[in-house]
């Protein structure tokens, strides 16, 4: 339990630091918007590009692991989408944003350090396999469904054009694609460029978490308690349970099984808010769900670790 506190509590405190800074007037709301733009359009894309360009894509990729994890993630996306529509009567655009919160686990900021502390650095192959396709898969699914909702009634050609425009104008998706191109081509990144990318990448996660805390001032969970509860239940309990069931059925090796279940048990990642912010829908639910689910994961992740022991 102490290890979990050591990993998760600093993240939670950094989010709280951003919240208090804006709440007490020490940092302006307009400044938070600038930090958000910096992380979303520059720092996080550099982080993703550099990480994917360095991955060993041909080593220890398990199709069964990816099927188990992403089948569960897709089901959870559907549960969040249709659950918020049927139970809460939210507009379809909000439902897609809530569904994305249920889809996007915090695989990097929480998943990697917790898995490393629990099982050691040699057991992270499955985590890296999931991370390699995490953002492309989730953004492709989320953007496609959102564009279908926004452009319903249009011809298939116009719909495909809208989806393509949204995908290829997204800095995160472009960075991921560029990372894969560099990885597959084997073209080395010049040291001076790599060093510059490292400098900006190191700022990505701390700045993003600080900005998220500041955003929470604007989007308090008033009136959204049921939607936030739905997201927390699906992300912290349903997704890992589904991966457990699929992984057992596919006879995943122990390390891959642990990687899949534990990554699925993470709270929604910061990208859940980034997606909601991209479309201006469900931002209060997304921001609050990231914070509250991260706090609740102190207990839920401990329970899943006990189950995996």
Q: What is the pLDDT of residues 208-219, one digit of tens each?
A: 889 888 887 776
Is the predicted pLDDT of residue 9 greater than 80, yes or no?
no
Average pLDDT, the chain: 87
Q: Which residue would you say has higher pLDDT here, 230 or 125?
A: 230
DSSP string covering 48-117, please?
Answer: HHHHHHH--TTSS--HHHHHHHHHHHHHHHHHHHHHHHHHH---HHHHHHHHHHHH-B-IIIIIHHHHHH
pLDDT at 134: 87
Q: What is d(CA 120, CA 27) in angstroms, rounded to the nearest whole number? A: 39
pLDDT at 159: 67
pLDDT at 60: 59
Is the predicted pLDDT of residue 147 greater than 90, yes or no?
no
Once rounded to an integer, what is the mean pLDDT over residues 191-216? Answer: 90
pLDDT at 154: 67
Q: What is d(CA 107, CA 275) in angstroms, rounded to the nearest whole number? A: 16
pTM of the model as a whole: 0.81
Residues of the chain with pLDDT > 90, as a percent, come to 43
Q: Which residues have a Cβ under 8 Å from the Cβ of 282 and sit 6 or more positions away?
A: 90, 93, 94, 96, 97, 98, 101, 227, 276
Once rounded to an integer, what is the mean pLDDT over residues 172-198? Answer: 91
The range of the structural domain enclosing residue 197 comes to 2-308
Measuring CA to CA, which residue among 76, 20, 23, 22 is closest to residue 233? 76
pLDDT at 209: 85
CB 154 within 8 A of CB 262: no
Indicate the pLDDT class of residue 181, thresholds 50, 70 and 90: very high
Sign of CA pseudo-dihedral 33, 35, 285, 13: negative
Indicate the pLDDT class of residue 1, thresholds 50, 70 and 90: low
Indicate the pLDDT class of residue 260, thresholds 50, 70 and 90: very high
Number of domains in the chain: 1
Measuring CA to CA, which residue among 103, 88, 97, 86 is closest to residue 282? 97
Q: What is the pLDDT of residues 14-55, one digit of tens each?
A: 888 999 999 999 999 889 989 988 988 899 889 889 888 887
pLDDT at 70: 97
- Report the CATH number that the domain containing residue 110 is assigned in CATH: 1.20.1530.20
Give the total residue count for the chain. 309
Measuring CA to CA, which residue among 128, 80, 129, 84 is closest to residue 104? 80
Helices and strands (H, E) in the chain, number of each type:
15, 0
pLDDT at 164: 72
């Amino acid at each position: 339990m102490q290890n979990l506190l050591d990993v998760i509590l600093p993240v939670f405190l950094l989010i709280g630091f951003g919240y208090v800074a804006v709440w007490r007037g020490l940092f302006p709301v307009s400044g938070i918007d600038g930090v958000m733009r910096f992380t979303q359009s520059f720092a996080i894309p550099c982080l993703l590009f550099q990480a994917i360009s360095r991955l060993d894509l041909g080593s220890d990729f398990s199709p069964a692991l990816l099927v188990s994890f992403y089948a569960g993630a897709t089901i959870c996306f559907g549960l969040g989408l249709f659950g918020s529509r049927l139970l809460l009567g939210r507009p379809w655009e909000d439902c897609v944003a809530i569904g994305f919160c249920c889809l996007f686990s915090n695989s990097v900021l929480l998943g990697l350090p917790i898995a490393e502390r629990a099982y050691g650095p040699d057991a992270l192959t499955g985590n890296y396999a999931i991370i390699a396709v995490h953002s492309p898969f989730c953004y492709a699914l989320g953007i496609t469904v959102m564009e279908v909702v926004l452009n319903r009634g249009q011809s298939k050609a116009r719909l495909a054009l809208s989806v393509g425009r949204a995908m290829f104008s997204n800095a995160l998706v472009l960075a991921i694609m560029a990372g894969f191109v560099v990885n597959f081509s084997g073209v080395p990144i010049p040291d001076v460029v790599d060093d510059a990318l490292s400098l900006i990448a190191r700022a990505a996660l701390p700045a993003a978490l600080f900005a998220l805390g500041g955003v929470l001032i604007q989007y308090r969970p008033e009136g959204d308690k049921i939607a936030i509860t739905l997201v927390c239940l699906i992300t912290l309990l349903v997704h890992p349970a589904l991966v457990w069931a699929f992984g057992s059925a596919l006879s995943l090796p122990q390390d891959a099984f642990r990687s899949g279940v534990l990554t699925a048990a993470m709270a929604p990642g910061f990208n859940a808010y980034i997606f909601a912010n991209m479309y201006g829908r469900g931002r209060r639910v997304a921001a609050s769900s990231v914070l509250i689910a991260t706090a609740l994961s102190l207990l839920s992740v401990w329970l899943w670790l006990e189950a995996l022991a």
